[in-house]
């Protein structure tokens, strides 16, 4: 009997208790007392359905960018519940990369994007890229800011770079699709949207754009 199998029922107990009481801190405390990150990653990949759900939920709160590969795989899990939890979890770990100063800067850029201050967001993201060009999230954030500023060529370049660094970055693929669509490059937009869906099949708005663009291109 494998170690993962022996541990799985305990994690399932914690997860089912969380579903009942919605006490996330209690869930995380129980999990962190019993499981290492590596154990959770193995369960996220190979556990039974409820164990995978619990492991993915825990990784999103307890881990960092080191779990990007595992959570990226979980995005295409056969179970929709795992996929939904993975979408949230992987978005949480992407900014948890680099030094503490990089993480603070990523948070500041995210705040500026939320506020609609895209010019300042692009400037701040540019500083992250200059200091740590290996952080995919910095490229994505600047690409998103450029998209909202109407700089579509720059947006596609930055989002493409984000995907080169982090091949699971479905958000970057989706923004690329939007930028190509604004440039009336529907073929490139469709491919970018399809790429986003391959990474994250739960993106229903992107799926709708794929269907619509397929119809438009078929009728041209």
Domain at 143, CATH number: 1.25.40.10
Give the CA radius of gyration of the chain: 19
pLDDT of residue 5: 44
The model's pTM is 0.92
Domain count within the chain: 2
Position 115 scores a pLDDT of: 97
Looking at residue 84, what is its pLDDT? 97
Residues 11 and 84 in one domain: yes
Q: What is the mean pLDDT of each successive set of 10 residues along the chain, which is 220 residues long?
A: 53 95 96 96 96 98 98 97 98 96 97 98 97 98 98 98 98 98 97 98 96 91
How many C-beta atoms lie closer than 10 Å to residue 204's C-beta? 9
> 214 and 192 in contact (C-beta within 8 Å)?
no
Question: Same domain, yes or no, for 40 and 133?
Answer: no
Q: Which of 93, 114, 142 is the last residue of a domain?
A: 93
Query: Helix axis angle, 170-182 relative to 186-199, nearest 10°?
Result: 170
What's the CA gap between 29 and 40, in Å, rounded? 14
pLDDT given for residue 171 in this prediction: 98
Does residue 199 share a domain with residue 123? yes
Domain that holds residue 203: 100-218
């Amino acid at each position: 009997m494998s170690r993962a199998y022996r541990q799985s029922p305990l994690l399932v107990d914690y997860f089912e208790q969380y579903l009942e009481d919605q006490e996330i801190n209690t869930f995380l405390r129980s999990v962190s007392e019993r499981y290492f990150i590596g154990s959770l990653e193995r369960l996220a990949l190979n556990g039974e359905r409820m164990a995978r759900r619990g492991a993915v939920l825990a990784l999103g709160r307890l881990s960092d960018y080191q779990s990007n590969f595992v959570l990226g795989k979980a995005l295409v899990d056969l179970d929709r519940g795992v996929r939904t939890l993975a979408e949230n979890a992987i978005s949480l770990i992407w900014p948890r990369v680099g030094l503490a100063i990089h993480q603070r800067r990523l948070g500041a850029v995210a705040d500026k994007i939320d506020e609609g201050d895209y010019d300042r967001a692009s400037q701040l993201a540019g500083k992250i890229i200059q200091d740590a060009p290996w952080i995919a999230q910095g490229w994505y954030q600047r690409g998103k800011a450029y998209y909202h500023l109407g700089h579509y060529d720059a947006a596609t370049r930055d989002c493409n770079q984000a995907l080169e660094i982090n091949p699971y970055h479905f958000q970057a693929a989706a923004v690329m699709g939007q930028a190509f669509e604004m440039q009336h490059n529907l073929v490139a937009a469709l491919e970018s949207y399809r790429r986003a869906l391959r990474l994250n099949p739960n993106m229903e708005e992107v799926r709708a754009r794929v269907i619509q663009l397929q119809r438009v291109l078929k009728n041209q």
